Amino acid sequence: MLKRMSRDNSLLATHMSLFTALFICWQRNAFVSPFMVNRRMLMTYAKIASVATYHKCIRELREKEYIGYKPSYHPQLGSQIWWLEQFDDSDASPPYITNE
């Protein structure tokens, strides 16, 4: 997934920042998927100030099939997020490192 993201020229810094915030939430949920998030927390972690920007980025991450997203309109429940691709060992190595 991370390799695909690195090749996706349509992603902006805000997408990557939101993705990182999602990863932090997943980590805090002991890497269990799906996991619950709320907009305020994600915006704080991602340093996104505009609600419109947040909604645009989350929608585009979903449309590009990086995440699954089930919104919740309940303020305490939060929305569900899950990864549409698995993280694997090939994502962990920078492209300049070879296993020779």
- Region 18-31: mean pLDDT is 95
**For 38-71, how does the pLDDT look when each residue is reduced to its tens digit (9 = 90+)?**
999 999 999 999 999 999 999 999 999 999 999 9
Please give the share of the chain, as a percent, with pLDDT higher than 90: 67
What whole-number distance in Å separates Cα of residue 97 and Cα of residue 34? 32
Task: Give the residue-averaged pLDDT of 3-16.
Answer: 91
Asked whether the whole model's pTM tops 0.75, one would answer yes
Query: What is the rounded CA–CA span in Å between residue 96 and residue 100?
Result: 12
- The residue written with tokens 């619950």 in the block is 36
Q: Contact, 67 vs 22, CB < 8 A?
A: yes
Q: Residue 77: what pLDDT?
A: 85
Hey, what amino acid is at 91? D
3-state percent helix, strand, coil for the chain, nearest multiple of 5: 45, 10, 40
